[in-house]
Amino acid sequence: MHYLVLTTGSCGNCYIITDDENTIIIDDGVTYKKLSERMEDHDIPMSSVRAMFLTHLHPDHSKGVGVFQRKTGLPVYMSDISWARNMAEIQRQRIEPALVRQYSFGEELSVPGFSVIPFRTFHDSEGSAGYLVKSGSGPSFFIMTDTGIIPDGAEELADAADVMFIESNYDEKMLDEGPYPAHLKKRIKGIYGHLSNTEAVEFASKVARRGESVYFVHVSENNNDTDILRDLAYSKIPSGIFCKICERGELFEGFIDGKEQGKGEEKGTEEGIQPQGMQEGRTI
């Protein structure tokens, strides 16, 4: 198994999970050119993609969807609430209705190679979602981004995951003292806003187990500092967990062995899921 944080942050968000035969994409806030080039650079053929899943319809997560659909003809999944409540945005972004697949929260979705459990998040884009992605070969992935609060039930889902992508948007002090107008600060901190470093790290330290990997994503450029987040994560997260703070716009690649990857086994950390080369991260 092989995965990419293809890019993350306000400039665009996109995650790829592949078992080499089947691939799924979560969010598409990038151009088709960038998506296809970065996938190709990492040996993930577009022909292996089976479906795309959207967390929500803010352009940093969905601006590439229309072109992706027209180029590939592939289905794009979103919640029935997202579909029903964001029609103007769907039209504006030129998303192809015929290729949209709607689901209800709580439904388990099957695509070749994967089953996907969507869960509700809290954000100012109605019907927003997070996902637990279970691969047929073993490992599971948890994606929770753009949510003002941790949804009920997220802990149980994350408990089943081997790799987690968790939004860690802002440092409370930097946001409070920063340049944003009051109404924007309120929105970010509100229940339909974003997760703070404290909330994200607290959640990760509760659910991550030895041998697992946690990627902190969607880090704000203006209201956060990767060093502050790194210090917090390294001081709170229990030992034996691989932690990575994802800088805005950068790509991160990880590999994970099928059934070899096991909770409570040091081995998983050493051999299975260390991202490659210069992508510095740390097993605490």
Interface ranges with Zn ion (CB under 5 A): 58, 60, 146
Amino acid sitting at position 229: L
Nearer to Zn ion, 111 or 245 (CB): 245
Distance CA 237, CA 46 (A): 36
Nearer to Zn ion, 60 or 199 (CB): 60
Helix (H) or strand (E) holding 227: helix 226-236
Nearer to Zn ion, 38 or 58 (CB): 58
Q: What separation, in Å, do the N-terminal and C-terminal C-alpha atoms of the chain show?
A: 23
Nearer to Zn ion, 146 or 199 (CB): 146
For the bound state, the minimum distance from the C-beta of residue 129 to Zn ion, rounded and expressed in Å, comes to 12
Nearest to 28 by CA among 38, 41, 15, 18: 15
Q: Which residue is nearest to Zn ion (CB)?
A: 58
Nearer to Zn ion, 34 or 209 (CB): 34
For the bound state, the minimum distance from the C-beta of residue 146 to Zn ion, rounded and expressed in Å, comes to 4
Residues 6+ apart with CB under 8 A from 256: 1, 2, 3, 139, 162, 163, 213, 268, 272, 273
Phi, psi of 29 (to 5 degrees): -95, 35
Please tell me whether residue 175 adopts helix, strand or coil conformation.
helix
Strands 252-255 and 213-217: unpaired
For the bound state, the minimum distance from the C-beta of residue 58 to Zn ion, rounded and expressed in Å, comes to 4
For the bound state, the minimum distance from the C-beta of residue 89 to Zn ion, rounded and expressed in Å, comes to 11
Asked if 212 and 243 touch (Cβ cutoff 8 Å), the reply is no
Please tell me whether residue 14 adopts helix, strand or coil conformation.
strand
For the bound state, the minimum distance from the C-beta of residue 30 to Zn ion, rounded and expressed in Å, comes to 13
Nearer to Zn ion, 28 or 60 (CB): 60
For the bound state, the minimum distance from the C-beta of residue 161 to Zn ion, rounded and expressed in Å, comes to 21
